[in-house]
Homo-oligomer: A and B are copies of this chain.
Amino acid sequence: MSNVDDQERLEPAALAELLASGSDPAVERVLSGAHPADLAEALDHIEDLGAKLRLFTTLDAETASRVLRDASEGARAFLLTALPDARLTSILEHLETDDAADLVGGLPEERRATLLQRTDAETRREVAELLTYPADTAGGIMKAEVPAVSAGTSARDVVEYLRRNAEKLSDVWDVFVVDDERRVVGRLPLRRLVLADDGQRVDEVMEREVVSVRTDTDQEEVAHRFEKYDLTSAPVLDASGRLVGCITVDDVVDVIEEEATEDMLALAGVSGSAGEMDGALRNVRNRLPWLALNLVTAAASAVTITRFEDTIRVLAIAAALMTIVASQGGNAGVQTMTLVVRGLALGELDTGQMTKVVRRELTIALTNGAVLGTACALAVYAWRGDARLGAIVGTALLANFLVAALLGSLVPIGLKLLRVDPAVSSSVFVTAGTDVAGFLIFLGLLTWAL
């Protein structure tokens, strides 16, 4: 028995150590008791590839399939290469179709074909079908195993149906009710099935309120519906409205984390897949393009500065003060941008609310700009005894806050309207804009005043 609990939980590192070192009976006892998700994590802590493979090979097919599904990308890639085809085939047949599709989806074309050839006809057909959908749509995350009965079925017969398909439908929370053309007409949560009398017809006890998605619905929108309507599973319909699969909430939890991570990293200028903590080379590829782009925009704002070289020669302190104006504007812009990007991602904000958002952001910028501009002006006056210089810094700071408010709200909304992901590209425009504006406004005012 494996109760996972704060007190009793074996840390993956300790588990790995035990597994790598132990005598056979001890290892066997740990393996049989551990949760597959913990074994997957422990695999990552075993450095020696031979030991990793040996350990994995001792698992039964059912456990092995769950461990492989939960393994980190690195461990999974290694095991997929190292395991013989026969073993992988049996693992594929033990996985739900969505997980099987994820697994073979990452393989080279040829290997994928070889493996699918060896699986049974049903798995082959279903997995091949799932692979035709883009990975980030409902079709790409759904499983083909979907419990469906007709409205006239008795509760007793639904139970019989679930029993007959017990192996295939191992993760069921709702049974969907369909008509002759596989259109969804209702949903039967298991709780309702449990409470129904044996002889009751499905349409007497089902819920008629069904939230469904289409195969081409974006996974972010899928997650949004699960969250909004508190769903446990949702039917997936094809273009003509027929039931072709279903999505369960455990997959949606992964989507939510993945989307949030992607947005967060994109805002920081890291492209590519989520949460990659491995592979320095891959990290270089994920980050270099954005740094290079930033180098270009930084150069552009540096060129702005060179137009004021005379001013800087006369008043070298300007070089110091201009960085404050740019830095404050950048930070204020990033605040606005992040709120807007996140609001758009969560569906709390839509592009129609543009005017409202801009008005609110300008109000906030005016308030923050007035407070901090005044503070900054007074500090400069106290420091340098130059009231005019203080006034110019304060004014430039306030003005750059207004620029930041405009860019921080309009850039992501504009990108969204152009169907570009605001998380990926907003930062570049917003920070480049507030840098250039900060330097231009401050040095421009100063040059004019000198």
Contact = CB atoms under 8 A, between A and B. Distances in A.
A260 B423 CA distance: 14
A300 to B, nearest CB: 10
Nearest to A379: B299
A155 to B, nearest CB: 10
Interface string A138-159: 0000000000000000000001
Range class of the A interface residue count:
35 or more
Contacts of A159: 194-195
Given A287-B332, A288-B372, 12 more contacts: A2-B209, A170-B191, A249-B253, A256-B256, A261-B342, A267-B267, A277-B348, A288-B368, A310-B316, A313-B316, A319-B322, A327-B435
B323 A363 contact: no
Contacts of A305: 319-320, 323
A279 to B, nearest CB: 9
A395 interface: no
Interface in A54-103: 70
Copies of this chain in the oligomer: 2
A254 interface: yes
26 contacts: A3-B184, A4-B209, A4-B210, A5-B211, A41-B228, A166-B195, A227-B257, A232-B249, A249-B249, A252-B253, A256-B260, A260-B260, A267-B338, A268-B339, A269-B334, A269-B335, A284-B367, A287-B332, A287-B335, A294-B328, A298-B324, A305-B319, A305-B320, A306-B320, A319-B319, A323-B439
Nearest to A284: B367
A201 interface: no
- The majority secondary structure among interface residues of chain A is helix
A227 B209 contact: no
A208 B376 CA distance: 64
A3 B290 contact: no
Interface of A: 1-6, 13, 35, 37, 41, 70, 159, 162-163, 166, 170, 172-173, 184, 190-191, 193-195, 208-214, 217, 225-232, 237, 249-250, 252-254, 256-257, 260-261, 263-265, 267-270, 275-277, 280, 283-284, 287-288, 290-292, 294-295, 298-299, 301-303, 305-306, 309-310, 312-313, 316-324, 326-328, 331-332, 334-335, 337-339, 342-343, 346, 348-349, 352, 357, 360, 363-364, 367-368, 371-372, 375-376, 379, 435, 439
